[in-house]
Structure 1
Amino acid sequence: MHLRISLRSVSKALSTASDATTKIPLATATKELASFLRDGGSNITVLTGAGASTDSAIPDYRGENGTYTLNPDYKPVFFQAFVASDEARHRYWARSFLGFPPIMTTEPNPTHYALAALQLPAPVQGPTLNVDNKSKVQGSSKSGYIRNFITQNVDGLHQKAGARNVIELHGTLHQVKCMTCGHEEDRSDFQQVLADLNPEWNDLLQSQSTSRLYTRMNADGDVELKTPEQQQHHQQEHSSMDKRLDYRTFQYPTCSCCGTGHYKPSVVFFGENIPPATKESTSQAILESNGLLVIGSSLATFSAFRLVQLAKQTGIPIALINLGQSRGDALADLRYDENSSLLLKAVAHELGLGDIPGTIKRRKRVMNVVGS
């Protein structure tokens, strides 16, 4: 049995000091990583964490501006509470209602596009990559470098960039599923259901006045709501006459299929079991690969760290790109304390894949839900 559990501080889990702060020149790192990919024989598995999406303005958990860094007291909604508590579901769906729109509209960054290019035998063409290159993939004699992706992220940005064979270790935000009968709905359709049930909240969302209701957005697409007292303080400071809203007033529907069950986002909550099929497929991907490339993950969740341990035990070479300390530093054969977008763009150029699309969007300390 594997639960999604997480260490708030990676450094506390390390018995010795990490060498993560040793900076390797970008040119050297580029040539080393290009050789690592060439040696993989088109059979590299890539494992990505929240750091792969920070250049799309989605915050991470443990980086300089991460959720746990800025708010050490932050507590996500745990699986057991969501299942058992009506109040916990009110809280989650209110937060998710405000936090989902930017996830839905966020674009991949150069890290996602570079990885898609490294998987496909043709240069990346931008957002329509997956459609435009179908014939090229089938008709080309050249193979790419990456076989499989395993991602801890729930944002769907790898697929949006055109990557294939993506295993979502912690599920996806883009669907919801009834906990009673298993009925699934698209999350964007469910967003409209929530909007119809909560017109006052939707009015705020549409008027871009939501910033007074939350302090920041988190990597899993929810926001940290202010209490009614904090909202009142905001009103006093900004002379706002908007109505204060309490998450306990936020309404959510029962299942449209069975009529009694409650929907849950199709993500693996903290404290929830990783599905057995996912656990098996990720392990198999590691065992069948010729190399593991870890990008943007502190590996604080055991569900991801165990895969790096498995690669090490199997004798598979490991390369790791992460800004700051990682739980897997001592296991990596190659370790780069570098921005993944900059390094992977350089590697793609070194391997003759041309220019990589996508822009780097720096996130704000407090993120506007609409128009961010």
Structure 2
Amino acid sequence: MVRLSVPTIPQAILSSATSSKTISPAAAVERIAEFLAPGNVAVITGAGVSVDSGIRAYRGEKGIYLNPNYKPIFYHELMDESPKGFGFRQRYWLRGYLGYKPVLDALPNPTHYALAALQYKSFVPRLITQNVDGLHHKALAGIWDKHTMQHHVLELHGSLHKVHCKYGHVTDRNTFQHWLSTANPQWKEYADELEATGQKPRTNPDGDVQLEGVSYDDFVVPVCPTCLLEGRQNSVHKPELIFFGESIQPDVKDRSFRDIESSSRLFLIGTTLATFSAFRLLKHALELQIPVLHLNVGPTRADGLPGIEKIELESGKVLKDVVRAVLGSKADEDPVVRKMLVSGVVRPPRDDE
């Protein structure tokens, strides 16, 4: 199994980054549509895809990983049963408690709906997302049932929307949030105040918020009620996402490789490929001589690799037009596609959040 490490782009790539050849949105639409038109395309999405939904990317101009002082919590720290580990869980769950609602309330943007249309029309039978926000699923809600979505969308790094304790008892995240509210009325009051005043803490893609000058010592992490019924005290919980230092489950890893192997082309969107779990899928595609097109703004770990065509544009500016170019008149004739192509919010995070 491969463990998820803190995402990095080699300094040599960052140092040698140059301005890419400019391309007009119209030319980009034509090229992307030409690439997608044969179908059987695998898509890998990253945090950049969700920026228009109000969720900050890890990298980019204001990404959290550009802050050298940022220290994420590692898997072994979160699961440590010593008092030090309990402190890590207090920090994680307080920040996660405040950061989950902005992610829960986020709505799909035009990129999510454009990709959903391409999935619905079978041009993109396999989508692999590094995101844990569930927005690809929201864009397909009402079109596909849960089973169909799971078949066509692979969440490579898991999901924020479920929590499990160390003994495997699974809880819906909304229920867990209620447990946290009940155990921490003072923070419930603070969260209600934020919502009432329209304030949003600066939230990262994994639901973590940035808090300054806050003590975590009094935050209560609730005991698992199922464990209590089984005669044990246990407050070690984690969301069903992959933490730094944690291994991706073998079935997820195996499926991600199969999804690449079953595809004729690979389209990368909004990802720097800084995490090895995604970068190795690109490497696998290149080994299989699968054509690769990369739509992203800024340096990426893949820059300079032979066999990759890169377009530097924001996906939200072109993907709906790409769908229209691929489908032609069918884009207007199909009521499902027609609705998708007029759906989607554009609410990028404010600088003052």
Query: What is the TM-score of this pair, normalised by structure 2?
Result: 0.86
CA distance in 2, matches of 1:214, 1:146: 34
CA deviation digits over 1:281-331, x for unaligned, max 9? 000000110111111100111011000000000011111011111111334
Residue 68 of structure 1: which of 65, 68, 72 is its match? Answer: 65
Contact 2:128 2:154 (C-alpha < 8 Å) held by counterparts = yes
Q: Counterparts in 2 of 1:75-90, with a 5 A limit?
A: 75-84=71-80, 85-90=85-90
Q: Which residue number corresponds to residue 101 of structure 2?
A: 101
Q: Indicate the SS of the match to 2:239.
A: strand
Q: Counterparts in 2 of 1:161-176, with a 5 A limit?
A: 161-162=139-140, 164=149, 165-176=152-163
Q: Indicate the SS of the match to 1:114.
A: helix
Contact 1:214 1:226 (C-alpha < 8 Å) held by counterparts = no
CA distance in 1, matches of 2:348, 2:127: 25
CA distance in 2, matches of 1:253, 1:150: 33
Matched, 1:58 2:27: no
Q: Which residue number corresponds to residue 222 of structure 2?
A: 253
Deviation, 1:346, is 1.6
CA distance in 1, matches of 2:64, 2:253: 26
Number of residue pairs the alignment of both structures matches: 322
CA distance in 1, matches of 2:342, 2:317: 10
Q: Indicate the SS of the match to 1:81.
A: helix
Unaligned runs of 5+ in 2: 333-340
Query: Which segment is superposed worse, 323-332 or 150-159?
Result: 323-332
Q: 1:348 to 1:214 in 2, by over 3 A?
A: closer
Matched, 1:350 2:345: no
Contact 2:13 2:299 (C-alpha < 8 Å) held by counterparts = no
Q: Indicate the SS of the match to 2:318.
A: helix
Q: 1:286 to 1:18 in 2, by over 3 A?
A: farther
Q: Indicate the SS of the match to 1:292.
A: strand
Q: Counterparts in 2 of 1:25-64, with a 5 A limit?
A: 25-39=24-38, 42-64=39-61
Q: Which residue number corresponds to residue 285 of structure 1?
A: 259
Q: 1:333 to 1:95 in 2, by over 3 A?
A: same
Contact 1:20 1:335 (C-alpha < 8 Å) held by counterparts = no
Deviation, 1:6, is 2.9
CA distance in 2, matches of 1:153, 1:357: 20
CA deviation digits over 1:8-30, x for unaligned, max 9? 4x251539834663221211111
- Output the aligned Cα RMSD: 2.0
Contact 1:297 1:326 (C-alpha < 8 Å) held by counterparts = yes
Contact 1:20 1:326 (C-alpha < 8 Å) held by counterparts = no
Q: Which residue number corresponds to residue 153 of structure 1?
A: 131
Using the aligned pairs only, state the percent identity: 40
Matched, 1:327 2:301: yes
Equivalent residue letter for 2:317: L
Unaligned runs of 5+ in 1: 122-143, 229-245, 368-372
Contact 2:99 2:201 (C-alpha < 8 Å) held by counterparts = no
CA distance in 2, matches of 1:13, 1:94: 37
CA deviation digits over 1:198-248, x for unaligned, max 9? 00000011112899x9962211111111114xxxxxxxxxxxxxxxxx222
